[in-house]
């Protein structure tokens, strides 16, 4: 999370989540559901490496990761993901996402 000077309170809840998932070698983002577009407030190095973007390019983008959409990203999957983020239900969605360089095959990275 972005912290500015000494005025930003420390969020131990987010720190705990970050430490837990980092230790499992997971690739992830954390978003703020209280702001418009559920802006990304944290992404780990694994996520940056996987998608080919630098952290500064990802921060404050919508958590739908629309910057990773490409020609084979299905509109239905996009709608299902957006609907799940608006609600409070868990949903499993298979969606085609693209790296910054246009590759889609996870085996490439």
Residue 109 has pLDDT above 50, yes or no: no
Mean pLDDT for the chain?
86
> Which tens digits make up the pLDDT trace of 43-68?
999 999 999 999 999 999 999 999 99
Per DSSP, the residues of the chain read ----TTTSPP-HHHHHHHHHHHHTT---EEE-TTSGGGBEEEE-HHHHHHHT--HHHHTTSBTT-GGG--TT--HHHHHHHHHHHHSS-----------TTS---GGG-
* Global confidence as pTM: 0.78
């Amino acid at each position: 999370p972005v912290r500015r000077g000494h005025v930003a309170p420390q969020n131990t809840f987010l720190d705990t989540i970050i430490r837990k998932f980092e230790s499992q070698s997971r690739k992830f983002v954390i978003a703020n559901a209280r702001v418009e577009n559920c802006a990304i407030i944290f992404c780990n190095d694994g996520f940056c490496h996987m998608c080919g973007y630098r952290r500064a390019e990802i921060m404050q983008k919508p958590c739908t990761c629309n910057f990773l959409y490409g020609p084979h990203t299905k509109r239905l999957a996009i709608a299902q993901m957006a609907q799940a983020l608006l609600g409070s239900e868990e949903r499993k969605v298979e969606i085609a996402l693209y790296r910054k360089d246009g590759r889609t095959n996870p085996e490439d990275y």
